[in-house]
Structure 1
Amino acid sequence: MHLTFVPDPRGECRTLIRRADGAEFELASYSRKHAVPHDLVHAVLERELGIPDGIYGCIAAGAVLSSMTQTGGKKRHDAKVRSARILKAAKGIGISEALASVFYAAYEQGRVPYAEVREAWGVTSALPCPYGDEQVARVARVLGEVGENWQARADPLVFPWPKELQAR
């Protein structure tokens, strides 16, 4: 899957998605002039933490969110049923949502959210947080690099998505 984050002159961001099955989509973002688009924060943390059933892993597997518009490629005959099945089974979307707000706030404050990640995890699961300090620091570092890159450009930002990182 290929992700391209496109700056919108109104301060928003559009995410262009080309899945391996050839389907192409546009995902509307509602970032309202934040330093880094919300959807880009999701992409960074889901990729760096290896969350296969987060937002982008579900999209890679065939899910279509209500904020997505198909712009190219063939629509699957079972697209709605497949999407609903993928999204119903996905546990990573809630985790990704909880962590995205934590990482975004920390990015804005220029710090690494070690304790906040564990706290957010505890809201979503009774199990111990699987993300150690090294992983949290890596997400914060990569988000910092991507954020600087995003703010310094007017061109689209291509974001590689690992083939193996998709929901089952």
Structure 2
Amino acid sequence: MPAMRITFVKGQKSDRIHVQRPDGSQVSTELPHKGPTPHDAVHVFVERGLGFTRGFWGLIAEGHHPEAIAEMARQAGHPSAKRGEPPTAEFVEAIQAERIVEAFEADQWSGGTGDPQGVRDMAESGCWQSHVPMPGLGDEQVTAIRCGIADFTKEWSALPLGGSQSLDWEIA
């Protein structure tokens, strides 16, 4: 099956994502700056690296709008400061992805060269707080995800405002 094309467009205060699904449907949304790498780009590397099919990008591939996923999370029982209950089974992978993405972002902000165990520890803590199991995350996976994020970030940083960078999401 053909890949879904994800294009990130660099903006001044926020960036844009344009998605072209294999069925021809398209979706776009804005995302706020959250660090040196667009948050949703980090999702690509984490979810591909872990073989996730029901994380953020898997849900987009299924036809969901990016802005609808926050409401899906709430309905699925996504833990927050106000309520902490285990999520529904079909949303576990999306929450795992979010917690692991957060760990890789923290890792990147601190230089991204530390022991892979530090990434696992952060991700495991986030998963535990969100009532989801921590998936396996080996040293080689941490290294590959870090390298993907670093390569993307290097190119992203060099882009002028309005420049874009695309990634493919292979659909199983």
With normalisation by structure 2, the TM-score equals: 0.74
CA deviation map 1:5-48 (0-9, x unaligned): 0001x23210100111211110221225x211111111221122
SS of the residue 2:147 aligns to: helix
One-letter amino acid matched to 2:169 = W
Quote the residue 2:20 is aligned against: 18
Quote the residue 2:84 is aligned against: none
**1: CA distance, partners of 2:14 / 2:23:** 27
1:114–1:133 contact (8 Å) kept in structure 2? no
**Identity between Structure 1 and Structure 2 (%):** 23
Quote the residue 1:3 is aligned against: 6
2:45 is aligned with 1:41 = no
**2: CA distance, partners of 1:18 / 1:38:** 19
SS of the residue 1:146 aligns to: helix
SS of the residue 1:91 aligns to: helix
Q: Structure 2: give runs of 5+ residues left out of the alignment.
A: 70-74, 77-87
SS of the residue 2:16 aligns to: strand
Q: What is the RMSD computed on CA atoms of the aligned residues?
A: 2.4
With normalisation by structure 1, the TM-score equals: 0.75
Quote the residue 2:33 is aligned against: 31
2:164 is aligned with 1:163 = no
Q: Structure 1: give runs of 5+ residues left out of the alignment.
A: 69-83
2:96–2:134 contact (8 Å) kept in structure 1? no
Quote the residue 1:74 is aligned against: none
1:14–1:26 contact (8 Å) kept in structure 2? yes
**2: CA distance, partners of 1:63 / 1:100:** 20
Residue 109 of structure 1 and its aligned partner are, at CA, apart by: 1.1
**2: CA distance, partners of 1:56 / 1:7:** 19
Q: Classify 1:128/1:40 alpha carbon distance in 2 versus 1 (closer, same or farther; 3 Å).
A: closer
Residue 128 of structure 1 and its aligned partner are, at CA, apart by: 5.5
Residue 67 of structure 1 and its aligned partner are, at CA, apart by: 6.0
**1: CA distance, partners of 2:129 / 2:137:** 14
SS of the residue 1:90 aligns to: helix
Once the two structures are superposed, the pairs formed by residues 116-135 of structure 1 within 5 Å of their partners are 116-124=122-130, 127=133, 129-135=135-141
Quote the residue 1:103 is aligned against: 104
